[in-house]
Amino acid sequence: MKIDSKISFGRTLLAIEPGNDWFKLVEITRHRDEVKVKRVVVKRVAEVEPLAGSNLLKALGLGELAGEPVVICLPRQAVNVRLFDLPSGDPQEIADMVDLQIARQTPYSRDEIVFDYRVFRSDKEGYTRVMLVIAQTGMVRQKYRFLEDAGLSVCLVTTTTDGWLAALQEGKMAFSQKAAGATVFLDIDMTSSDLVVLHQGGPLFSRSLSVGASQWAMGDERLRDKAVQEISTALETFRNEVPAVPIGGVALAGAATKNPAFVDLLTSALGLEIISVTGVGAAAYELAGSDGSAMALTGIVGAASAPAMLQINLTPESVRLRKSVMVKARQLTMMAILAMAVFGLLSLFVMTRINRQKVYLDELKTMSEQTTTEADRVDAMRRKVVLVSERMAINMIPVQALVELFGLAPDTMAFTSIQISEASQLVCRGTAETVADTVRLVNSMEASALFRNVKSTRTVSGKDRTEFEIVCELERKRP
């Protein structure tokens, strides 16, 4: 089960380690070859689990990260790692041999586990070194569902060991030692550690140790001595298994780099050169705060900074099938949309043809209307002449009547409407200060030669003003 090369991680990538005690999140932004740690969140699992669901990101102040791609990094103590050499260099043969090894490497049935492997060059000619990673399916599903329910887009599930190995391979993380031989990479977390012996770029030995930063942070010398003793025992086991490869130094990462006393103690106990790890991980500890300074962030920072180099994919088969069904459903949806688009284009083509015929018919109709008979044109001109003659038969010019009306009206009156009909009837409405003003206007209009049959048809006295309506006929003859 290898990582799908079609996975697109984008410029922003989250790496999350959902451990048993601590929840760690690292946000990485990538632009070309530049990788920057933008944010680090470290919370106790007891604080995060009650927030499970769609409100998780908002509660953590990460609401804007909804939908961003995520790589889940399972902590080293949550998985089983096996290292062995296989007598083949063919990828298909290696895959078949790994399938045969599964039954020997774990007591669980195939239905209870999910596994993947990473290949390296072996010191033996004709052989390939394989790092097999095994995890319980139920645990992986639980972590996957927890983040998926929070609204995150989980791309793959890997392990912290694969994360820092990917960063080393891509050059995002590095270390150097003076002495020749293998390098012990020791990534120390709060309560556990990941110990891997590297030689010529490949792992020769791997152990998950039950010692961490909390054991020497308590100030108890017995706990510190026990932690150093467990590390020494693991290295002694390696020397017994691979006596031909000496150890040249110890590359410390994680919480150990923040404790000079422990570094001195480890140097004295092991008698080996202590090497510091450089790269993108250093910036993560500056953003992590007091809690994060005692954590191992190297694995998730490495996974987020070099996702293209990750080779372990522990995504359960059921999840992959569900994703595959969703992808096929999207493809079918796209095909349906495409079919609808084609149907729409055909409909548009047919409608265009119909519209063109309609336009052609409209043009014919227009041409027909433009070729009406001369009699119709003459009849239309005759009706216009008659209409103009009727309008010119009125000798009275309404404008003169309006001028006369406004000249007769007192200054205390105001007109609200004046209407002149075709029958030369004038109706004016307005307001005056008193009824006497209205009577005075009616008398003045009766005395005028322009008005006849002047009548006051409506007079309503109000509190401040009097409303009136006066109707009269206009004299058709000029005065």
Q: What is the DSSP string of 125-194?
A: TT-EEEEEEEEEHHHHHHHHHHHHHTT-EEEEEEEHHHHHHHHHHHTSEE---SS-SEEEEEEE-SS-EE
C-alpha radius of gyration, the chain, whole number: 47
Q: Which residues belong to CATH 3.30.420.380 in the chain?
A: 1-174+279-315
The position carrying tokens 């954590």 is 295
2 pLDDT above the threshold of 80:
no
More confident residue, 327 or 137: 137
pLDDT(191) > 80: yes
Q: 192 to each of 154, 195, 214, how far by Cα in Å?
A: 26, 10, 9
Residue 459's H or E segment, with its range, is strand 451-461
Instruction: Name the segment(s) of the chain with CATH classification 3.30.1360.100.
Output: 398-474
Alpha helix ranges (H) inside 371-449: 374-392, 398-408, 435-447
Q: Is 191 buried (19+), middle (13-18) or exposed (0-12) by CB count in 10 A? A: middle
The pLDDT of residue 324 is 66
Say how far apart CA 428 and CA 305 lie, in whole Å: 88
> Which pLDDT band holds residue 287 (cuts at 50, 70, 90)?
confident
Residues 41-48 have a mean pLDDT of 87
**Domain(s) of CATH 3.30.420.40: residues in the chain:** 176-276
Residue 73, pLDDT score: 93
- Which range has the worst mean pLDDT, 160-174, 219-233, 297-311, 402-416? 219-233
- Considering the four listed CATH numbers 3.30.420.380, 3.40.30.10, 3.80.10.10, 1.10.3720.10, the one that applies to the domain covering 1-174+279-315 is 3.30.420.380
Question: So what's the pLDDT on residue 5?
Answer: 44
Residue range 119-141: average pLDDT? 90
- Closest alpha carbon to 65 in 144, 140, 150, 143: 150
* The domain made up of 176-276 is a member of CATH 3.30.420.40: yes
Q: What is the pLDDT of residue 326?
A: 66
**Which of the four pLDDT bands, split at 50, 70 and 90, describes residue 1?**
very low
What was the pLDDT predicted at 3? 52
Q: For residues 21 and 77, what is the distance between their CA atoms, to the nearest angstrom?
A: 12
Identify the H or E element spanning 357. helix 317-370
Give me the mean pLDDT over the 221-246 stretch.
88
pLDDT at 388: 64
Q: What is the mean pLDDT of the chain?
A: 84
Which residue from 420, 475, 419, 422 is spatially nearest to 445, judged by alpha carbons? 475
Residues 6+ apart with CB under 8 A from 230: 209, 210, 211
Cα–Cα distance, 81 to 83 (Å, whole number): 7
pTM to 2 decimals? Answer: 0.66
Query: Which class would CATH give 398-474?
Result: alpha beta
Calpha distance 87→475 (Å, rounded): 126
pLDDT at 289: 67
Share of the chain above pLDDT 70, in %: 88
Mean per-residue pLDDT, 183-208: 89
